Amino acid sequence: MVFLADLGDVNIIVGDNNSGKTSILEAIQLIADPVEYNFFQVAGLRNKHIDALNSDLTEAVASIMHRSKNNGNKDEYVLDISATIKDGRQKTKPISKDGKRYIKAKGRYISFYSNGKDTPSIECEISSSSGVKRTLLVSQKSLNEIRMDDLHNSGRLNEMQLIRPSEYEPDVNVGAVYAVDHVIAADYKKIINSKSQTDKALRLLKSFNENIISMRYLNKNGIPVPVLDTDTREAAPLSDYGDGLKKALAMMEAILKAENGVLLIDEYESAIHPSAMNSVFSFMLKACKEMNTQLFVTTHSLEALDELLGCDEAVLDNVRVITLKKKNGKIHSRVIDGTEAKKLRSNNNAELR
């Protein structure tokens, strides 16, 4: 069990590999929107680099839960997350006056008869503060073999039914960028297709490069090419720009999605040349402040930690450095503020990971 308190506007989660950094981001994503759709979305992220039709959803679901033994000495998978959400970040009517919410899940492997044969499956019981209380059966290697039962509904969920309805809005806005998400083509298109999103994106990008004046597509030999216009050069494709601007664009859709909510970035230094770190991290902090967004990032790089702590001393009191240590199968945490962390790094070259 990990307990984190006294969180800030900017939270930097550090630790060795496999210390649980990404799991903290997944827990935040789950608790911000505790519905069964999000449960499977977070599980699916673990297999995002695999084609959806070939991924093993049962393994993904089991992997986000803790494995233990039940009274019958059989494997059982348990998830138990709780949090307090304050500062008016809840968009809908608060679930409770004190902002407390939870999501619990219990899973077990069973054999499910499908397509003329027994298929390894995992049965999950999910309950949460949002009112969700369901039993779901997930069969191996097929999104088309998900069954949901509750007091009022019994049937099969297929891939399309699992997709969140377009009119549905989460309780708390969450933007997430995981290590496999550092690409920009699809995100750029989503921004361009919305004038309001384009206007916000341009306003934020000007804090990175004040010469940017527009975002658009340029038709080149029948192929739409994403370009940026500046007041100092002709329109140029994104491939012509440096790593810093590319990284800023890779984060842009998540930042816009997280307005008045929470932004999660795994390995925030990924795909950034050291020379571009300061400009990208400064952009990230300014964008989150302007969008009223609480930031959670992970890293195991002391260089990236030092760069982020050195971006803006004015915000250090609202920065938290969260160190995770795994010992004897348990995860231990320590939280210190940004001012103290910078002092420890500057004066003593302290190992904060």
- Sign (positive/negative) of CA torsion 174, 66, 55, 116? negative
Is the pTM higher than 0.85?
Answer: no
Task: Give the model's pLDDT for residue 335.
Answer: 93
Q: CA distances (Å), 160 to each of 29, 95, 121, 163, 313, in order?
A: 22, 28, 20, 5, 47
Give tens-digit pLDDT for 94-107.
Answer: 455 567 788 888 88
Q: Domain 174-348: give its CATH architecture.
A: 3-Layer(aba) Sandwich (3.40)
Nearest to 133 by CA among 235, 18, 258, 36: 36
What is the average pLDDT across 248-277? 85
Q: Are 302 and 353 in contact (CB under 8 A)?
A: yes
pLDDT tens for residues 134-182? 776 666 544 444 444 432 333 333 332 333 444 456 678 888 887 655 5
Q: Select, from the ranges 43-57, 197-211, 283-297, the one with the highest average predicted confidence (pLDDT).
A: 283-297
Kindly write down the DSSP assignment for every residue of 254-275, as one continuous string.
Answer: HHHHTTTSEEEESSTTTT--GG
Per-residue pLDDT, 148: 41
d(CA 66, CA 317): 34
According to DSSP H, which parts of the chain are helical? 21-32, 36-45, 57-63, 159-162, 185-192, 195-206, 243-257, 277-290, 302-309, 338-348
Q: Do 256 and 288 contact (CB within 8 A), yes or no?
A: no
Please determine, for residue 331, whether its predicted confidence score (pLDDT) is greater than 50: yes
Residue (of 300, 310, 304, 305) closest to 321 by Cα position: 305
The C-alpha atoms of residue 322 and residue 339 are separated, in whole angstroms, by: 13
Q: Share the mean pLDDT of the chain.
A: 77
Q: Tell me the range of 54-58, 92-96, 114-118, 336-340 where mean pLDDT is highest.
A: 336-340
pLDDT for position 163: 39
Contact status, residue 267 vs residue 12, Cβ threshold 8 Å = no
pLDDT at residue 233 tops 80? no
Residue 305 has pLDDT above 90, yes or no: yes
Residue 280 one-letter amino acid: V
Q: What is the pLDDT of residues 109-135, one digit of tens each?
A: 876 655 566 666 777 888 887 776 777
The residue that leads in pLDDT, 150 or 196, is: 196
Strand pairing of 236-237 and 154-157? unpaired
Would you state the torsion angle of the CA atoms of residues 251, 254, 255, 256, taken in this order, to the nearest 10 degrees?
130
d(CA 336, CA 17): 20
Tell me phi and psi for residue 235, to 5 degrees. -55, 135
pLDDT of residue 165: 42
Predicted local confidence at residue 139, as pLDDT: 62
Domain-wise residue ranges, the chain: 53-162, 174-348
* Dihedral sign for Cα atoms in the order 58, 78, 177, 21: negative
Provide, rounded to the nearest whole percent, the portion of the chain with pLDDT above 90.
16
